A and B are shown apart, each in its own frame.
Chain A
């Protein structure tokens, strides 16, 4: 069991990382990574949705008829996403406005449906939850790296706080980093670097 858990953790975080290995969830990777705070909230929302959706799909897997399983999975994912959306609207309205439609779009995030369909549907609840959790963490750490570079180089701030060198006159802010092309460049660089690190082990 311990070796199995370790394998699930390593698959989610590195060997089958949803962003730099499988290139999934790219819409939100490109859209919300220009501010670290927005990215953190988006990652927490995905972590909540993915781990609990995987758990619920796994609990219901013996009962759900095969021919309607994808409809049921979408229903479960939408349920958790709406809960996150309502919580943000009620308790953190500024963040809800800032993230705009991207919280709602977690429903269509390929990682969530992919893990439910590929893993949770055929595995017990504990393992499905762990798989969802670590795939979400794998997604999160890549997004946070991209967001850190984009915010620091593009705006001279980190989590909204001005950084000594980057917000000063010596650093000419790279405006392209907070624009959509900046996200493409960063994603390509991160994918290249992480895949290069992984190559000798394969």
Chain B
């Protein structure tokens, strides 16, 4: 039978059908778990940039609970940022703005926390990056991220600057990671673009609201 001309075609078809079916079945079995993991990574980043929720997020279940109970999904009024409300439907206590862009090796995705004054940074967290371990990947570690807490955005095109590790810092600057110049340069660009765009959107909404109130 192996010598028949049709045999390789039928054999390949059957082998592909069998292995594909097993893979499809296995993927379907784990689909919900994979989707939950991806959602949880973003939720963890959002919860970690707000000081009000950061300390309570001890494990995955707590992170999810805090996110569901306290975070409001982004809309046009918040310029695409998640918001933390003082109480159900109340005023905004903090924003969590998603940021994304190309890093040195792969895309960097994260969230930057902004206080209700729309100027003070409350924290930064990354949920996707593939920079060099030990160098660029240090941007996702606590020592680097903690530098952003309390920084105040400067007006203009560079709200936040990432400077060389030795220089003296002003209120909108943080130190770069030693040996990760390319990652830090790209990260500064990603942060500044996102913040600038968000500030413009928020300013436009305030301006529009003021005009509507004028009789």
| A184, chain B: closest CB distance, angstroms | 15
Given contacts A35-B133, A75-B16, A178-B133, contact A90 B23 (CB under 8 A): no
In-complex Cβ contact of B134 among A91, A93, A155 (8 A): A155
A82 to B16, CA, bound (A): 14
Tell me the number of A-to-B contacts counted with CB atoms below 8 Å. Answer: 72
The interface bits of chain B over 141-169 (1 if a CB of A lies within 8 angstroms of the residue's CB, else 0) are 00000000000000000000000000000
Q: Which residues of B contact A97 (CB under 8 A)?
A: 128, 130
B1-53 residues at the A interface, CB under 8 angstroms: 2, 7-8, 11-12, 15-16, 19, 22-23, 26-27, 30, 33-34, 37-38, 41
A150 to B106, CA, bound (A): 22
Interface residue? A199 (CB, 8 A): no
A17-66 residues at the B interface, CB under 8 angstroms: 34-35, 38, 60, 63-65
Please count how many residues in chain A sit with their CB below 8 Å of the partner chain's CB atoms: 32
Given contacts A79-B23, A178-B132, contact A72 B12 (CB under 8 A): yes
Q: Which residues of B contact A34 (CB under 8 A)?
A: 132-134
Q: Which residues of A contact B178 (CB under 8 A)?
A: 175
Interface residue? B135 (CB, 8 A): yes
A124 to B132, CA, bound (A): 43
| A11, chain B: closest CB distance, angstroms | 29
Given contacts A75-B15, A86-B30, contact A179 B135 (CB under 8 A): yes
A34 to B2, CA, bound (A): 48
| B31, chain A: closest CB distance, angstroms | 9
In-complex Cβ contact of B19 among A63, A65, A79, A90 (8 A): A79
Q: Which residues of A contact B132 (CB under 8 A)?
A: 34, 178-179
User: Contact residues of A with B, CB < 8 Å?
Assistant: 34-35, 38, 60, 63-65, 67-68, 71-72, 75-76, 78-79, 82-83, 86-87, 89-91, 93, 97-98, 100, 151, 154-155, 175, 178-179
Excluding A86-B23, A90-B30, A98-B130, 6 further A-B contacts by CB distance (< 8 Å) are: A34-B132, A63-B11, A65-B11, A98-B133, A154-B134, A178-B133
